[in-house]
Amino acid sequence: MARPGKPSRPQGGQTGADLAALGQNGRAYNVVCVVQDGRLSYEALLFAASFRASNPDFQGRLLMAEPQPGPLWQGEVRVRPQIRALLETFGVEIVAFENRAFGQSYPYGNKIEALLNLPQDAPFVFFDTDTLFTGSLADVAFDFDRPSASMKREGSWPQPGLYGPGYEEIWRALYDRFGLAFEPTWDMSWPVDHWQRYLYFNAGWFFHSDPHAFGQRFLDYALSIRDGEIEALASQSLDPWLDQVALPLVIQSFGGDRPGKGLAGLDGDITCHYRTLPLLYARESDRVVEVLEEVTAPNRLKKVLKEHEALKRLVYQGQGQKIRALFDRAALPRREQAIRQRIKAAGLWLR
């Protein structure tokens, strides 16, 4: 495993791998996630450790956006000093930001508000904190002028009622609200009444050339959807789906689309958005489990990570392997809910 620390910058000319690491436009980019006290701080350690192990020559900055205490939060949200110090050994730069729109009532909004505080002189790739890196981002062909996002999702939103409105009517109302072309986003290989016909992402990763422009539009769209009266959405829940409702609209507005082949390593051989540790052990590859257990092994991390109950029991006490034995990765249940129920029945659902 690569020794943690700040990335080195190559001297002289750039190789093909260097150019890939810089993105198609030849610019260095920043990798960012959100960190705050509690579970996310432990996930951030896994994020940073696996990132540096897989990307020892990364030329951009590894940023973690941290919300600050304020009227929209109950209590302390900043990372404890011990964990902050460990993150810094991996070259992490903490970027503080204040919540002005979301906060405790909708913590998923952190990924939106954080963008407005990122350095504007470089493109960004945002990842959810519950992501492990299993390969090099140098093998990902980012085109920062054509944003995209994760397709690792289920048909979670919308949920059309028996008497309508249906998928097309709901999504059309959103595109019309922001003056966006709707039909060009359709995947015509799916029928009109199927959720996959319409542009829908998981917000577990996304990217663009300008964090401020992207973040401001993301914020404007999300607040307009949350606070506006859109008749077609009257029966739809927006919590916790608001970010994933707004994201395809933002991406389409900047000329983006579904991810192409050059991004296949994300949610593939290069990154894993595992969501929860029980789900990781249940359905992810042997390589993902190997990386998890490698990055959690050093004693300096173990002392802190064992404070988190899920990590202590599933990783350090080996109970994750009990979850793994419950499932055949070649024949997993189609719905995540069925996986969750089996894990819960075994008494091993821990977050």
Q: Is residue 45 part of a domain?
A: yes
Predicted confidence band at 6 (pLDDT cuts at 50, 70, 90)? very low
- Give the C-alpha separation, 248 to 149, whole Å: 8
Q: Is residue 243 part of a domain?
A: yes
**Do 212 and 115 form a contact (C-beta atoms < 8 A)?**
yes
Q: Where among 213, 241, 273 does a domain terminate?
A: 273
Predicted confidence band at 16 (pLDDT cuts at 50, 70, 90)? very low
- Give the C-alpha separation, 210 to 120, whole Å: 6
pLDDT at 89: 98
For the chain, the 3-state helix, strand and coil shares in percent, each to the nearest 5, are 40, 10, 45
pLDDT at 17: 40
- pTM of the model as a whole: 0.92
Helices (H) and strands (E) in the chain, counts: 13, 8
Percent of the chain topping pLDDT 90: 91
How do residues 324-341 score in pLDDT, each as one tens digit? Answer: 999 999 999 989 999 999
How do residues 106-151 score in pLDDT, each as one tens digit? Answer: 999 999 999 999 999 999 999 999 999 999 999 999 999 999 999 9
Residues in the chain: 351
pLDDT at 22: 57
Q: Is the dihedral of CA 52, 21, 117, 256 positive or negative?
A: negative
| Same domain, residue pair 208 and 339 | no
| Same domain, residue pair 156 and 217 | yes
Q: Is the pLDDT of residue 12 over 50?
A: no
- Give the C-alpha separation, 287 to 137, whole Å: 16
Segment 22-38 mean pLDDT: 84
| Same domain, residue pair 219 and 100 | yes
Q: Mean pLDDT check: name the lowest of 17-31, 76-90, 160-174.
A: 17-31
How do residues 273-303 score in pLDDT, each as one tens digit? Answer: 999 999 999 999 999 999 999 999 999 999 9
Q: Is residue 292 part of a domain?
A: yes
The closest of 69, 125, 123, 75 to 97, measured between CA atoms, is 69
> By residue range, what is the domain housing residue 338?
275-345
Q: In what order do the strands lie in the sheet with 30-34?
A: 92-97, 62-67, 30-34, 124-127, 202-208, 149-150
Q: What number of other Cβ atoms are within 10 A of residue 295's Cβ?
A: 25
pLDDT at 23: 54
* CATH value at residue 83: 3.90.550
| Same domain, residue pair 102 and 38 | yes
pLDDT at 15: 38
pLDDT at 26: 63
Predicted confidence band at 3 (pLDDT cuts at 50, 70, 90)? very low
Percent of the chain topping pLDDT 70: 92
